[in-house]
Amino acid sequence: MFYQPEDGRGWVVLAAYHEETLLRVLDEMMDDPESAGFSDIGIRNILYTEVLNTRPRRVLEIGTHIGTGAVVMGTALQRNGYGKLISLEPQLKYKAIAEGYIARAGLSEMVEILPFFSYQDECQQRLRAEGPFDLIFIDGAHEYEAALFDIRLAYALLRENGLIILHDSGRDSPQMDQSGQGGVRRAVHDFAAETPGAVAIFREHPLWLNPCGAALICKQLLEPAIETPAGA
Ligand SMILES: C[S@@+](CC[C@H](N)C(=O)[O-])C[C@H]1O[C@@H](n2cnc3c(N)ncnc32)[C@H](O)[C@@H]1O
């Protein structure tokens, strides 16, 4: 049955960011004829606050599109006065549009877009040279095999206790997978099952207020390890 939030709660998720330039550029992006596929406010809030909370040296995004996530993360990096976002966008048309918005938001020093697919050797060499990454946003291809490939790649590039954030892992995820294999949702589940130390969390309704959903994967390393005291 379709979830309906109670009266007073509603569907509207408020943005955690208030910078005038960012809000203006995001408004312009929403009017862009190529805007379909943009990030939602819930995921932007996670990206923005995670960058502020952890002051990352390197952030990676797989799938820039026209750059809504990139301008949000770039603005948080600019507030930090530290760190850089590397974003992958193989479609040169989208890369050019995103670079225009990033320049208008004054973020060109914080954000670099590389014209690569994540599976290209040249791309992976460059990422290994830039890494390790503290935070990785995976929002590229939504087919199961491609998503699982990107998660494995990202996990190898991720610092201990770093976070991977994924879009489109919600209940609509299988419909976004043209190969019919369950999409990002199943890829997150299977990766966590095959990888000791990987902790996956799905943000789902009724708390997550859209059916696209979001997921987090942490490369959890507790030091010192938690030991159960004798006799407990
Ligand atoms: C849903 S859009 C990304 C939206 C963007 N993250 C945002 O916040 O607005 C997906 C993008 O991923 C790109 N893409 C698809 N497969 C990719 C891959 N293997 N590596 C890098 N980018 C990829 C597509 O060209 C497309 O522009």
Q: Write down the pTM of the prediction.
A: 0.97
Provide the pairing of β-strand 58-62 with 133-138: parallel
Q: Distance between CA 176 and CA 169 in Å, rounded?
A: 10
Q: Distance between CA 154 and CA 163 in Å, rounded?
A: 10
- Any domain includes 202: yes
Residue 39 has a pLDDT of 81
Q: What stretches in the chain show pLDDT beneath 70?
A: 1-2
Residue 1 has a pLDDT of 56
pLDDT tens digits along 37-80: 778 999 999 999 999 999 999 999 999 999 999 999 999 999 99
Number of domains in the chain: 1
Residue 2 has a pLDDT of 67
- Any domain includes 181: yes
**CB-side exposure of 140: number of CA atoms within 13 Å?**
27
Indicate which atom in ligand 1 lies nearest the CA of residue 146.
Answer: 19
* Domain assignment of residue 206, given as a range: 20-219
Print burial letters for 68-106: b (CB count within 10 Å at least 16), e (below 16).
Answer: bbbbbbbbbbbeeeebbbbbbbbeeebbebbbebbeebe
- Cα-Cα-Cα-Cα dihedral of 55, 58, 60, 65, to 10°? 80
Query: Residues 214, 185: contact at Cβ < 8 Å?
Result: no
**CB-side exposure of 41: number of CA atoms within 13 Å?**
14
Indicate which atom in ligand 1 lies nearest the CA of residue 140.
Answer: 12
Q: Distance between CA 229 and CA 232 in Å, rounded?
A: 6
- Any domain includes 15: no
Residue 186 corresponds to which tokens in the numbers above?
């199943």
Query: Residues 95, 46: contact at Cβ < 8 Å?
Result: no
Cis peptide before 211 (omega within 30 of 0): no
- Any domain includes 166: yes
Q: Distance between CA 129 and CA 132 in Å, rounded?
A: 8
Residue in 28, 48, 62 to alter for ligand 1 test, most ligand atoms within 8 A of Cβ: 62
- Any domain includes 9: no
- CATH number at 142 reads 3.40.50.150
- Any domain includes 176: yes
Residue in 73, 102, 136, 139 to alter for ligand 1 test, most ligand atoms within 8 A of Cβ: 139
For atom 8 of ligand 1, the residue with the nearest CA is: 69
Any idea which residue has 């929002």 for tokens? 139
- Any domain includes 30: yes
Residue 49 has a pLDDT of 98
Q: Tell me the Cα Rg of the chain.
A: 18
- Any domain includes 134: yes
* Ligand 1 pocket member 37 (CB < 6 A): yes
Tell me the backbone φ, ψ of residue 114, rounded to 5 degrees. -105, 135
